[in-house]
Amino acid sequence: RISVQCKQSTADLFCTFQSADSPQQSKNTLISLNSLHFSADKRANMATINQTNQFYEGCGREGPIRCILLSEFHAVAGSKISCQVPENYIAKEVFDSIRFFIIPKPQLQRCTLTVNALGHKVIGYPVKIDHTRYPRNAFYFNLCFVCDSWARSVQYEAVVKKLSEYLLMMEEETSFLSNPDNNTRIQNLLSCILRDLNEKQVATIVEGETTIYLKIVRLKPDPPPVQDHQVPLICKGFENISLEAWDLTTQQVIPFINGINHVARIAAEADVENQLVKSCIQNLVYYGVVQLLPLL
């Protein structure tokens, strides 16, 4: 997973890469993009908008999908937008500024890539298809969701990846993306997906012999760490929960959750290592199965 954040200054834009499989493995590299320059008026307008709305990157608020765009690498023209809905939502100057991140080097293919720049957050999953039928023996494309720069976007990453894999399959079977005759079909497909995901958070689209199933799954933040003195209580509706659906540690722990035993006592009676019990109960809190009470 790669994220790119461009920050405006009076001289240039700076781009911060975050590459991480987990938060502990995050690495940051600061790169100056001296080639990107915009007028002072534009920077001032964007700053005023952000201050007025009090929305900022990391505020935790969710926003709608503003645009879905399909970019590809043309053998002559290079990286370009082949389709976007709504049309012209991403201006040419904006795309030209970030196109190296939309159609990136081969090392970044098949990974989720997020670019936050110039008032837009672009979530993509670049794909390269090797085949002799293409010019240069390869076809590059990237299906991207575009959100407001401040919006939480992690819930869209799995959807972007899944939709890209559908398009990859359709391209390999019928040249769906690379055939110019399909431009109208692609436009209609993306329009339906944009509408349904924003209105219903799910989309089921039939395109030829392919049925596309997409669903936005909201990701909640992790609950606070569990403490030894806290008392877990099973929430209403989960009293008769089946243990078979859970992992072995949870199966050992749940029988001792009665609203009386604190975490340290549960660990002792279940004969499970204390830290494992805390992780197990934190997981149950995340899914709303238990709630934590203070020890009276």
Parallel, antiparallel or unpaired: strands 67-74 and 138-148: antiparallel
Which pLDDT tens digit goes with each residue over 12-60?
343 444 444 443 333 333 333 333 444 444 444 444 444 445 667 667 7
Nearest residue to 124 (alpha-carbon basis) of 153, 94, 145, 152: 145
| Residue 167 to residue 14: CA distance in whole angstroms | 33
Strand partners, 292: 232
Confidence of residue 2 (pLDDT cuts 50, 70, 90): low
Which residue in the block uniquely carries the two structure tokens 């672009």? Answer: 122
| Residue 160 to residue 196: CA distance in whole angstroms | 14
What are the tokens at 98?
A: 């970030």
* pLDDT, mean of residues 112-125: 93
Count of CA atoms in the C-beta half-sphere (13 A) of 29: 7
* pLDDT, mean of residues 277-294: 92
| Residue 20 to residue 7: CA distance in whole angstroms | 20
Domain layout of the chain by residue ranges:
2-215, 231-293
User: pTM here?
Assistant: 0.65
**Buried-state track 208-229, b at ≥16 Cβ within 10 A, e below 16:** eeeebebebeeeeeeeeebeee
Sign of torsion over alpha carbons 75, 77, 80, 83: negative
* pLDDT, mean of residues 129-155: 93
Q: Which residue has the higher pLDDT, 128 or 41?
A: 128
Confidence of residue 114 (pLDDT cuts 50, 70, 90): very high
pLDDT beyond 80 at 296: no
Q: Give the C-alpha distances (Å, rounded to integers) separating 286 from 27, 222, 233, 254.
A: 27, 7, 13, 15
| Residue 99 to residue 111: CA distance in whole angstroms | 16
At 30 the pLDDT is 31
At 190 the pLDDT is 96
Which pLDDT tens digit goes with each residue over 74-96?
888 889 999 999 999 999 999 99
Sign of torsion over alpha carbons 126, 132, 133, 137: positive
- Average pLDDT in the chain: 83
Strand partners, 115: 4, 122
At 54 the pLDDT is 65
Helical segments of the chain, H only: 40-53, 92-102, 154-174, 183-200, 248-253, 263-270, 274-286
Which pLDDT tens digit goes with each residue over 202-224?
999 998 888 999 999 887 778 89
